[in-house]
Amino acid sequence: MTESKEARHPVLKVRDLKVYYETPKGDVLAVDGINFDLYEGETLGLVGESGCGKSTAAMGILQLVVPPGRIAGGEVLLEGHSLLGLPENMLRSIRWIKLALIPQGAMNSLNPTMKVCDQIKDVIIAHEGKRARKDIRQRILKLLATVGLPGRVYDMYPHELSGGMKQRVCIAMAIALNPTIIIADEATSALDVVVQRIVAQTLLKVKQALGVSMIMIGHDMGLMAQMVDRIAVMYAGKIVEIAPVADLFANPRHPYSQLLIESIPSLKERKPLKITEGITHDPRNPPPGCIFQLRCPFVMDKCRVVAPPGLEVKPGQIVACHLYQENKDGSMVNVANAAGNT
Ligand code: SF4
């Protein structure tokens, strides 16, 4: 699925990226040929159910895939430069400075034996050398203030902080070197809803203040609606739809996107919990044709044979599904509802 051309400048291009995990019974196709661009100052949401490949995609972009995983193909271009095949020392210098990660369960990734100040210092000095020691205290205090933490946190150990505070320390570390791109992998999912809101607002504030581009990985569609500019929906290692956030929520085109949106509880009406019927295929042996065919309520014969290409059904909204076809005049039609143009 390839995106439409846009006038904005992409800082990151992901092309046909494949990340596989080797098992005795064959490769698990965790990420199987994803394509997207991330634009300057943009927040892109990457959503989908657990195990769909969101976090593996992040590891692929950061070149942090470790055995039994491997990058099986594709390209990752950061500001026009390919990251694939770069030696580890070069990648290390790019991480944090250009590409920073707020990892899943970030609050557990802090070193319990080191004070907050020393952990942030380590990141800065590792990349800027000893010259960074000058004024480093002021710099760290400013970082803590940026993420809404009081100065006393500087001298505290992680066990003295709440979950939300730890998470904000991780955000402070991620922005310490003014990265071009932040990848926030489920940055708020381990927190209760109130703290989740505070951390999400911190992320948004930081993003706006620094003008950084962000990939936000998660499955909380409500949070995504408030935080991101565009959403890419992943299913079983593939991006099945990508669209501006308003368009995806107002008119999701892919059947899986529709089911995801329908699963959001509503305060206005009580509705039964929508369940996606069917079973997911064996990720080592995907069926020919569409990846969603075993669970799709609209499956057709063609879906079992031909993989659907990405089709731009509306400017910026691209969907990989045979339900949509382009008429000779360039308009789009939904073949399941051929009476009305989409
Ligand atoms: Fe469903 Fe077919 Fe569309 Fe796949 S291509 S999502 S099986 S209608």
* Per-residue pLDDT tens digits for 48-57: 998 999 999 9
Bridge partner residues of 233 (DSSP): 47, 241
Instruction: Enumerate residues 6+ apart whose C-beta is below 8 A from 71.
Output: 17, 18, 19, 60, 63, 65, 84
- pLDDT value, residue 291: 95
**Distance (Å) from CA 179 to ligand 1 centroid:** 39
Instruction: Answer yes or no: is pLDDT of 184 > 80.
Output: yes
List pLDDT tens digits, range 197-226: 888 888 888 888 889 999 999 988 888 998
Average pLDDT over residues 255-269: 85
Best of 234, 277, 293 for a ligand 1 pocket test (most atoms within 8 Å of beta carbon): 293
Confidence of residue 295 (pLDDT cuts 50, 70, 90): very high
Instruction: Answer yes or no: is pLDDT of 88 > 80.
Output: yes
Superfamily of chain region 10-98+179-338: P-loop containing nucleotide triphosphate hydrolases (3.40.50.300)
Q: Does ligand 1 lie within 6 Å of residue 323's CB atom?
A: yes
Confidence of residue 1 (pLDDT cuts 50, 70, 90): low
Q: Does ligand 1 lie within 6 Å of residue 298's CB atom?
A: yes
Q: Does ligand 1 lie within 6 Å of residue 17's CB atom?
A: no
The mean pLDDT of the chain is: 90
**Cα 118 from Cα 143, distance rounded (Å):** 13
Q: Does ligand 1 lie within 6 Å of residue 300's CB atom?
A: yes
**Is 202 in contact with 147 (CB distance < 8 Å)?**
yes
Confidence of residue 60 (pLDDT cuts 50, 70, 90): very high
Comparing 165-174, 187-196, 237-246, the range with the smallest average pLDDT is 187-196
**Distance (Å) from CA 244 to ligand 1 centroid:** 21
Q: Does ligand 1 lie within 6 Å of residue 39's CB atom?
A: no
Q: Does ligand 1 lie within 6 Å of residue 293's CB atom?
A: yes
Comparing 24-28, 89-93, 120-124, 192-196, the range with the smallest average pLDDT is 192-196
Q: Where are the domains of the chain?
A: 10-98+179-338
Instruction: Answer yes or no: is pLDDT of 342 > 60.
Output: no
**Residue found under tokens 């063609």:** 302
Comparing 19-33, 39-53, 114-128, 260-274, the range with the smallest average pLDDT is 260-274
- pLDDT value, residue 3: 57
- pLDDT value, residue 340: 46
**Cα 312 from Cα 204, distance rounded (Å):** 29
**Distance (Å) from CA 53 to ligand 1 centroid:** 19
**Cα 45 from Cα 60, distance rounded (Å):** 16
Instruction: Answer yes or no: is pLDDT of 2 > 70.
Output: no
Q: Which residue owns the Cα nearest ligand 1 atom 6?
A: 321
Instruction: Enumerate residues 6+ apart whose C-beta is below 8 A from 313.
Output: 253, 319, 324, 332, 342
Percent of the chain with pLDDT over 90: 65
Looking from the CA of residue 300, the nearest atom of ligand 1 is 2
Instruction: Answer yes or no: is pLDDT of 6 > 70.
Output: no
User: Of 91, 63, 90, 64, which Cα lies nearest the Cα of 75?
Assistant: 63
Comparing 127-131, 164-168, 303-307, the range with the smallest average pLDDT is 127-131
Looking from the CA of residue 322, the nearest atom of ligand 1 is 5
Average pLDDT over residues 265-285: 79
